[in-house]
């Protein structure tokens, strides 16, 4: 689930976008976090040029989230 999409900067050549995501798997709520994207135009559509993923929380038995670097 992706929500609260916010365009933080927009020019004809690039868009900066941020949003929150939530992942639900067979264990229920698995993890959630934020995307920070740079989009660029390609003909009549926009493509993700760069994405930074920040995981804010993950279940102890997460099926998909990467382990924290702090662990």
**For the segment 48-57, what is each residue's pLDDT rounded down to a tens digit?**
999 999 999 9
Does the structure show a pLDDT above 90 at 69? no
Q: Tokens 């264990």 label which residue?
A: 27
What percentage of residues in the chain have a pLDDT greater than 70? 92
Share of the chain above pLDDT 90, in %: 87
The predicted model scores a pTM of: 0.83
Give the pLDDT band (50/70/90) at residue 70: low
DSSP string, 20-58: EEEEEETTEEEEEEEEEEEEEEETTEEEEEEEEEEEEEE
């Amino acid at each position: 689930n992706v929500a609260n999409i916010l365009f933080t900067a927009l020019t004809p050549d690039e868009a900066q976008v941020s949003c929150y995501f939530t992942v639900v798997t067979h264990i229920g709520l698995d993890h959630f976090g934020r995307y920070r994207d740079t989009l660029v135009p390609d003909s009549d559509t926009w493509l993700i040029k760069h994405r930074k993923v920040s995981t804010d929380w993950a279940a102890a038995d997460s099926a998909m989230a990467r382990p924290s670097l702090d662990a």
